[in-house]
Amino acid sequence: MRRALVTGAAGFIGSHIVDELLDQGWEVCGLDDLSTGDLENLERAHNSDSFTFVRGDVRDRTTVINAIGEADVIFHQAALASVPDSFEDPQAVTTRNCAGTATVMDGAVDRDVESVVIASSAAVYGSGDPLPKKEGQPVEPESPYAASKYYAEKMARQVGGQAGINVAALRYFNVFGPRQDPEGEYAAVIPKFITLLLNGERPVIFGDGEQSRDFVFVKDVVAANLAVATGSCSGVFNVARGESVTINELVEIINEILDMNLEPMYEDPRSGDIRHSCGDISKARKILDYEPSITFENGIKQTINSL
């Protein structure tokens, strides 16, 4: 039986990774300090005998080593995942995301783990051209959050390289799906807009709505994580859909699915917002056999049905 540690297990993405691993017969330990995570996300997992949960901090070495136990693979999702919060409290983002990842790598070396999959972010690329973003192009992190993610992926790969541990950093684009917190500051435009429309309220768009994002459904992100782990892959991979959608199109699609016609309200653009984002997924396609399997509309329907 394969064993895994999932950090950030009670969070949006971590909890979906836990569910899929359990479905595939893995024994799973979930570690989370519940700072932004919610135990409700682990309701399915808690019904499984193959799941244990540890409430603890990834910055604590003893906690991490105990949670790793005999794990073959660590899926490291725990982080402070907010750009605005990272500007407000750079110390918090740096300790959680950088020191947290260092502690996980320390534990991985100590426990002789086979592979570590690091949740990185498209934010490492910054807002400049060219598009779509390719793994080999120069990075330009534009926030303490993005800088922490770049540091974490680089450091983890260096430590893994020295110790003979496979380390893959997955640069997630805009992930969406069930369990995403609609109260979330930035990433959660989809659950936020769905919730507003369901309440008959008009969503607010900052700018002209022609800014675009590469929204990837959470199940595809989980599939990329599993592909890396089962293939014992190392390296940096974009995890995206490879196509972008404008915010105006997003509102149109949600309206259509809900059979509504609520016009958005437009306000001044927010400073620091990226205009366009799109990931090149040819490397993940080639090496991980990764293929986004859920259309954007279908992902939105599944998200609506989960609310």
**Contact footprint for ligand NAD (CB under 6 A):** 7-8, 10-14, 31-37, 57-59, 77-81, 96, 100, 119, 121, 172, 174-175, 187
- In angstroms, what is the minimal distance from the CB of 263 to ligand NAD? 26
- In angstroms, what is the minimal distance from the CB of 274 to ligand NAD? 13
Task: Give the ranges where the chain is alpha helix by DSSP (H).
Answer: 12-23, 43-46, 61-68, 83-88, 90-93, 100-110, 144-163, 189-198, 218-230, 247-258, 282-288, 296-306
The two structure tokens encoding residue 135: 């793994």
CA distance linking residue 61 with residue 26, whole number of Å: 24
Active-site choice (125, 145, 150, 172): 145
Residue with tokens 């783990």: 113
Question: Which is nearer to ligand NAD, 77 or 234 (by Cβ)?
Answer: 77
- In angstroms, what is the minimal distance from the CB of 111 to ligand NAD? 17
Beta bridge partners of 150: none
- In angstroms, what is the minimal distance from the CB of 127 to ligand NAD? 15
Strands laid side by side in the 166-172 sheet:
51-55, 27-32, 3-7, 73-76, 115-121, 166-172, 235-239
Question: Which is nearer to ligand NAD, 60 or 262 (by Cβ)?
Answer: 60
The two structure tokens encoding residue 21: 């691993």
Q: Is 145 a catalytic residue?
A: yes
- In angstroms, what is the minimal distance from the CB of 17 to ligand NAD? 9
Question: Which is nearer to ligand NAD, 188 or 197 (by Cβ)?
Answer: 188
Question: Which is nearer to ligand NAD, 40 or 256 (by Cβ)?
Answer: 40
Distances (CA, A) of 168 to 24, 93, 103, 178, 290: 21, 21, 17, 25, 14
Question: Which is nearer to ligand NAD, 262 or 276 (by Cβ)?
Answer: 276
Are 283 and 227 in contact, with CB atoms under 8 Å apart?
A: no
Q: Just list the catalytic residues.
A: 145
